[in-house]
Structure 1
Amino acid sequence: MTARIHIVGIGDDGLDGLTGQARLLIDLASVLIGPAPLLDKIPASDARRIIVGSNLEQLEQSIYDLGDRHAVVLAGGDPLFYGIARYLTETFGKDRFDVVPHVSSMQLAFARVKESWDDAYLTNLANQSLDRVVDNIRTAERVGIFTTEEISPAVVAEALLDRRIDYFTAYICENLGTPRETVTQGELSSIRSQSFSGMNVMILVRKTGAADRPSGSTHRRLFGNPDDLFLQSRPKRGLLTPAEVRCIALSELDLTPQSTVWDVGAGSGSLAIEAASIANRGKVFAIEMDAEDYGLMIENAKMFDVPSLIPVHGQAPDAWKELPDPDAIFVGGTGRVVPELVAAAVPRLAQGGRIVVNVSSPDNLVSVQNLLSAADLIHDVRMINISRGQHQMERVRFESLNPTFLVLGRKSK
């Protein structure tokens, strides 16, 4: 019969921070498996020690070779929080293991800087690319990062500043739970010139009111540009129409270079700007009532150089009274007002024109469909589920965006 294996979390303070149960399991083990720094925290005993680092194949083989010997796998902090426990239970099955967690150093770090971490973006640079992490940081409120020897806090700070992401206060928490514990607070411009212990957690806290800044990339697509190329308002995370949805919506609008377009509820202008790139000899009226979003839209339009975009600061439907009738209308936003805007906009749509309405709730979906049907528009609907790949532990997992609906309408000629 194969013996159960205990995965025991251990902190920077070694045995002193362990519970009696965890210490007993380690004392009784005939085999101890783990990275050298953790094994060094355990006093000498008769147990055989197997040093494994980041080589997962070596770790797997060590588990296969155990037979019925009582083994403990040492892991840093909570083995199920960016730790090895998930990988082992998925590889060998949950029934083979028991997990005894320690307080995660990530949890300790957030406690030291007195910030909540329930909605923070948490990541580990040991199994995530720095570019992907930086892209996710751009839109986060709070961030917790397990750094590595190669990708230190200074390297992270440099990468953020290179992409014009300078709106976070940084905290570097070193040697947590030990007498050498240190927390350094500073601007990213200061952190990038400093050195820190290899045992650290980097916490980033967004400065109050800071807007997302674009990545600074000089490459621009005609449409479907990455979300991080646009300034976005805070704390309205997630209101920008994702690139994948923009691509589908723009294709359904059937734009030509001469089209006249309304974008109702344009926000910071991502869809209107890309529509203006296509309708570069026409006119794209981007209607937005929020002053902050309106200002960001103007800044985004300057970066993309789209002369056919005409920002309109006002509340629909009054804001479009003096505008020319459109060949295409896009309506975005949330709430009960969306069907009312659609009802007011459809009569202005040119013959043969198209309307695309982006809604997230089934109630609005049904209401908008009924309105388009009552107006004798040819209509259809698309439900869009998008997942973006995330690399973790040498595997690809998928992070789902919120599902959304596009309601399509066309006025017959």
Structure 2
Amino acid sequence: MAASRSNVSIIGIGDDGLDGASDAVRRIISEADLLVGNDRVLALVPGNVTERLVLGADVEAAADRIAAEHGRVAVLVSGDPLFYGLARYLCDRVGIERCEIVPHVSSMQLAFARVKESWDDAYLTNLANHSLEAVVERIRTAEKVGLFTTDENGPDAVAKSLVKRKIDYFTAYVCENLGARNERVTRGTLGEIANQKFDPLNVMILVRSGNAPDRPRDASTRSLFGNPDEAFIQSKPKHGLLTPAEVRAVALAQMALSSRSIVWDVGAGSGSVSVEAALLAPAGQVFAIEQDAEDIELVRENADRFAVENVTPVMGRAPEVWADLPDPDAVFIEGSGREIARLAELAFERLKPAGRLVASVASIEGLYEVKAILTAATSDVNVWMLNVSRGTDQLQRLRLNSLNPAFLVAATKS
């Protein structure tokens, strides 16, 4: 006998059981020949059916049993079956054509609704599938976070780990037993949450406080260049203006630094290029040129973090502040519009013979103008367009988040 199409219904159900289910869901459950779920979910559905299958640790065996069933199967899961649920796995094992999915509001959705925060831009994860250490590193630069915690790593353990790493710039919410009569939402600082205990059925939400700067991760395992963006202190709300690690690595490679190079970093921002140039040229000197006083302080802090003493912050507007600087062996400049072309032309004039200028340009129009300026000055000009995507785990799947395209122009003074 051939299996009928869509004979497996994967149904999301809340803690209120059938009371919160639609008539259509009740009908599917009542007409099922096989009812599947863990002990807790099955207990929410009283009554008798032909057979009940309790989901335990051996999910593969359960999937095989479901696949072999020719009658109607109702698989009950908490919340949304596609949100850290069984739906994706069962569709793959049983056959997508045999499955229908009936969603319910997930506990993550309920949690964000309870604290009145949107969740479309949040980092969402499950500590049952990822190590606490890896999750903490992702939290470091996040704006909002939604966590399914575990018995081993409950909200108190998460809060303690964050406080230990000085990632203390979040307001925390712990939402327990969502949808049940004993539902409770606790709000507090991470320090306060670290000293409390919570019911195992909880969702933890973190909301970044104001424009607090990131606390960079330990730089003790740093590389000479291409360090992760989160290794640097960055300003808020200008977070994200730092030269991305991938672009930075290519730019520094094209600057062809020696151990004694004199480097100008024009528009240094938080100083990521300056710091890594200083690491590559330990006997040289890097001048981090920046007109923003707050960013100048970030340059100093990042230089201290990476223990480089050959970075000199230069506060002021280019090109006026260049007058007293020694001629450079290499120049890095970043920006958009006509200003970057003008500064590239003036900086190239100051380069020593055989010196290298690398410009990171944000727009195609700026690229055209910078290339035209440098091509008029030298025949050794190269151009790259860098399209980079970073992999991240989101909802049990690999997701590639693309960075803004970057254009690099490198020119050598003959």
- TM-score, normalized by the shorter chain, greater than 0.5: yes
Matches of 1:335 and 1:13, distance apart in 2: 59
Q: Which amino acid aligns with 2:25?
A: A
Aligned equivalent of 2:311: 309
The structural deviation recorded for 1:326 is 1.4
Matches of 1:173 and 1:225, distance apart in 2: 36
The structural deviation recorded for 1:212 is 0.3
Matches of 1:389 and 1:120, distance apart in 2: 16
Q: Which amino acid aligns with 1:251?
A: A
* Pair 1:23-2:23 in alignment: no
Matches of 2:80 and 2:195, distance apart in 1: 31
Matches of 1:202 and 1:18, distance apart in 2: 26
Q: Which amino acid aligns with 1:402?
A: L
Moved more, 24-33 or 383-392: 383-392
Q: Is the 8 A contact 1:249 1:406 kept in 2?
A: no
Matches of 1:341 and 1:44, distance apart in 2: 78
Choose which of 203, 207, 226 in structure 1 pairs with 2:209.
207
The structural deviation recorded for 1:80 is 2.1
Q: Give every structure 1 segment of 4 or more consecutive aligned residues whose post-TM-superposition deviation is greater than 6 Å.
A: none
Residues 11 and 348 (structure 1 numbering): CA distance in 2 closer, same or farther, change over 3 Å? farther
Aligned equivalent of 1:74: 76
Q: Secondary structure at the match of 1:263?
A: strand
Flag structure 2 segments of 5+ consecutive residues without an equivalent.
Answer: none
Moved more, 259-268 or 396-405: 396-405
Residues 53 and 223 (structure 1 numbering): CA distance in 2 closer, same or farther, change over 3 Å? farther
CA RMSD of aligned residues (A): 2.3
Matches of 2:140 and 2:49, distance apart in 1: 50
Matches of 2:232 and 2:57, distance apart in 1: 37
* Pair 1:240-2:239 in alignment: no
Q: Is the 8 A contact 1:147 1:200 kept in 2?
A: yes
Choose which of 343, 347, 351 in structure 1 pairs with 2:353.
351
Q: How many residues align?
A: 411
Matches of 2:63 and 2:272, distance apart in 1: 47
Q: Which amino acid aligns with 2:75?
A: V
Choose which of 141, 144, 147 in structure 1 pairs with 2:143.
141
Q: Secondary structure at the match of 1:258?
A: coil
The structural deviation recorded for 1:168 is 0.5
Q: Which amino acid aligns with 1:60?
A: A
Q: Is the 8 A contact 1:170 1:187 kept in 2?
A: yes
Moved more, 9-18 or 333-342: 333-342
Choose which of 166, 182, 185 in structure 1 pairs with 2:184.
182
Q: Secondary structure at the match of 2:141?
A: coil
Residues 241 and 84 (structure 1 numbering): CA distance in 2 closer, same or farther, change over 3 Å? farther
Matches of 1:233 and 1:47, distance apart in 2: 62
Q: Is the 8 A contact 2:329 2:356 kept in 1?
A: yes
Choose which of 131, 147, 172 in structure 2 pairs with 1:129.
131
Moved more, 266-275 or 327-336: 327-336
Q: Is the 8 A contact 1:122 1:145 kept in 2?
A: yes
Q: Secondary structure at the match of 1:272?
A: helix
Q: Secondary structure at the match of 2:220?
A: coil
Aligned equivalent of 2:3: 2
The structural deviation recorded for 1:411 is 2.3
The structural deviation recorded for 1:398 is 4.1
> Which structure has the larger Rg?
2
Matches of 1:96 and 1:308, distance apart in 2: 66
Q: Is the 8 A contact 2:81 2:101 kept in 1?
A: yes
Moved more, 104-113 or 229-238: 229-238
Flag structure 1 segments of 5+ consecutive residues without an equivalent.
Answer: none
Q: Deviations over 1:187-237 (max 9, x none)?
A: 111212221111111010111121001123533322222322211112233
Matches of 2:128 and 2:71, distance apart in 1: 30
Q: Deviations over 1:121-157 (max 9, x none)?
A: 2222222232222111111111111112222111211
What are the within-5 Å matches in structure 2 for residues 314-333 of structure 1? 314-333=316-335
Matches of 1:364 and 1:88, distance apart in 2: 51
Q: Is the 8 A contact 2:367 2:409 kept in 1?
A: no
Residues 352 and 133 (structure 1 numbering): CA distance in 2 closer, same or farther, change over 3 Å? same
* Pair 1:39-2:77 in alignment: no
Q: Is the 8 A contact 1:389 1:397 kept in 2?
A: yes
Q: Which amino acid aligns with 1:405?
A: A
The TM-score normalised by the length of structure 2 is 0.91
Q: Is the 8 A contact 1:164 1:215 kept in 2?
A: no
Aligned equivalent of 1:397: 398
Matches of 2:244 and 2:92, distance apart in 1: 32
Matches of 1:312 and 1:56, distance apart in 2: 62
What are the within-5 Å matches in structure 2 for residues 258-277 of structure 1? 258-277=260-279
What are the within-5 Å matches in structure 2 for residues 90-239 of structure 1? 90-239=92-241
Q: Which amino acid aligns with 2:277?
A: A
Matches of 2:372 and 2:9, distance apart in 1: 59
Matches of 1:238 and 1:47, distance apart in 2: 58
Q: Is the 8 A contact 2:256 2:356 kept in 1?
A: yes
The TM-score normalised by the length of structure 1 is 0.91
